[in-house]
Structure formats: C-alpha cells, structure tokens
Amino acid sequence: MFEPVILTTALINGLMFGAIYSLLALGLTLIYGVLHIINFAHGALLMLAMYAVFFLFSKWGVDPYLALVVVIPGSFAFGYLLYRHVIGKLAKGKDQNILLVTLGLSVVFENAALFFFKADTQTLNLSYAYDMIEIGPALVTLPKMISFGASIVIGLALWALMAKTDLGKAIRAVAKERVGARLMGIDVDHIFAMSYGIGIACLGAAACLLMPSFYVTPTIGHVFVVIAFTTVVLGGMGSFVGALVGGFIIGITESIGGLFLGESLGQIGVPLIFVLILLFRPTGLFGAKA
C-alpha cells in the first residue's frame, strides 16, 4: 500500500486544511445557531475575502498572516452591514426567503468578482511558500503549519468570546430564546447582525490562512460551500464542538480520499458524507435534536 511517509503527510495535510474548514464551519454554524438561517453566501463571501488578501499582498505587499489584523475586522464590518441593511431587511424572517436572498447575494458577489477581477486564477507568491518543516516522517510546508496554529488560536478566541464575554452571553441567549431575550432588553436585531458579522469574520480569517497554500478565482466559493455545509451538518448545526471536530474529519477525508482515489475522484468523499449524514443523521454528531 502506501508508505508511512505518504500516509502521514496526507493525514497531516488533512489536519491542516481541516483546521481551516473548522473555521469556515464555525462561522456558518454560528450564523445558523443564532439566526437559524442557512447562509448560502458563505462561499462567495470567502471568495471576496480571499481577493482582499490577494490585493493586499499584490498591491501593498502585506503578508497574508499580517493581513489578519485588517481582514478580520473588515470582514466583520462587511458582514454586520450586509445583514443589517440587506439580508435582515429583505428576508423578513421566512426561511425560504433567506435561502434565496443569500443565494442571490452569492450570485451578485461572484459575478461582481468576475466582472472586476476577471476569471484568472490568482495566487500569492510568498517567498516562504515552500519552506518545509519536518513532522515525524512527513514534510509539511511552513504556511500550512502557520495556518494550522493560527486557526487553533482563532478557534479558541472565538470560544472565549462566546463563553466569557457579555456579547457572547447575549448571543447565546438570543440563540436559545429569541422572544425572551428581546423581553430582557437585548437588542435582538443588533445581536443578529453581530452574529452574522462574527461569522463572516471567521471567513476573513480563513481567507488569510488559505491564500498562502491555495488560489482564488471568482467561482472558488462553490468548492467551499459544499465543504462548509458538509462540515456543519456533520458536526451538527449550531454546535461549536461539532464544527471543530467536523472540520478535521472532512479535512482528513479529503486528503485520504485523494490519496486512494486520485486527485479527481478523491473529492467524492465530501458530497458522499454530506448525503449520508443528511439521510441517516441529520442532527449531526453533536447537534441538538431538532
């Protein structure tokens, strides 16, 4: 079969990407848990953030990891405003509407990117993109290591935000009991927008961590939409732990799948898991019973 080195490398690569998928999923599951909306614009918004990282690097030479400082708050602000003034206003709370509004937004964003940035594939040419680090028998690129570490840190920060701060408590209150929270004086619309903003901030972070090892095109969001949704559904809609664990499972599935089935067919793992989970355990591994 495969030599331990190849297997281990695949596993480790899977974990690295998995950490980023966890970030994507965290944002999505937060948005679902609080607003009960399925954010179909998730992939397109990630794509926009990735372009932001690209331009920060190509025009002003900002290192993607340093860009975190700018992109995270920027993404948060964009998400907050987007929810407050567009999604919240148009969707009027109906599940079906929100589905379509976020889909419509993703169409707008993707085609705006196509229009302004053209369809070319863009990558960052980092000087240290191929520096290697040894982990056991495997060699891993430096950016993947940094991304891995950073996503863990950000994940922990998010957990701290939700568990320890007043904002986090308010968010959890609204997630649990919307009307009650409003009666307690919590500005629910503001919390919704905040939650959406934080969800998009996660995308911003993920963008910074992805670009060093990946590429961007206007339609790159499609790939990540399926991955993000699979991760969230696998972990359980609304579950933080689920998003984290799910991310790693999906990451490893992807890389092992690629190893055994080849570049092309190997991708089947993700939609396959998606279908199986939706059919047999729609609440996911850690999700609350509907």
Considering only 60, 61, 115, 134, the residue that binds other proteins (CB under 8 A) is 115
Residue 262 is a binding residue for other proteins (CB under 8 A):
yes
| CB nearer to other proteins: pick between 133 and 268 | 268
- 138-141 and 132-135 as β-strands: parallel, antiparallel, unpaired? antiparallel
Other C-beta atoms within 10 Å of 260: how many?
Answer: 13
Query: Is 108 an interacting residue with respect to other proteins (CB under 8 A)?
Result: yes
Sign of the Cα pseudo-torsion (85, 88, 92, 98, in order): positive
Residues 199-258 that bind other proteins (CB under 8 A): 218-219, 222, 225-226, 229-230, 233
Kindly state whether residue 132 participates in binding other proteins, applying the rule CB under 8 A: no
* 74 sits near other proteins (criterion: CB under 8 A): no
> Per CB under 8 A, does 121 bind other proteins?
no
Phi (first) and psi of residue 140, to 5 degrees: -125, 145
Three-state SS across 161-215?
HHHHCHHHHHHHHHHHCHHHHHHCCCCHHHHHHHHHHHHHHHHHHHHHHHHHHCC
Told to check if 279 binds other proteins by CB under 8 A, we report: yes
Binding flag, residue 92, other proteins (CB under 8 A): yes
By CB under 8 A, is residue 38 in contact with other proteins? Answer: yes
113 binds other proteins (CB under 8 A): yes
Helix (H, G, I), strand (E, B) or coil at 222: helix
Q: Does 34 bind other proteins (CB under 8 A)?
A: no
Sign for the pseudo-dihedral over CA of 254, 256, 257, 261 = positive
Decide if residue 145 touches other proteins (CB under 8 A).
Answer: no
How many beta carbons lie within 10 A of that of residue 263, not counting itself?
A: 9
Q: Which is nearer to other proteins, 28 or 173 (CB)?
A: 28
Whose tokens are 């701060």? That residue is 165
Sites of contact with other proteins (CB under 8 A): 38, 40, 86, 89-92, 95-97, 99-101, 103-108, 110-115, 119, 218-219, 222, 225-226, 229-230, 233, 261-262, 264-265, 267-268, 270-272, 274-275, 278-280, 282
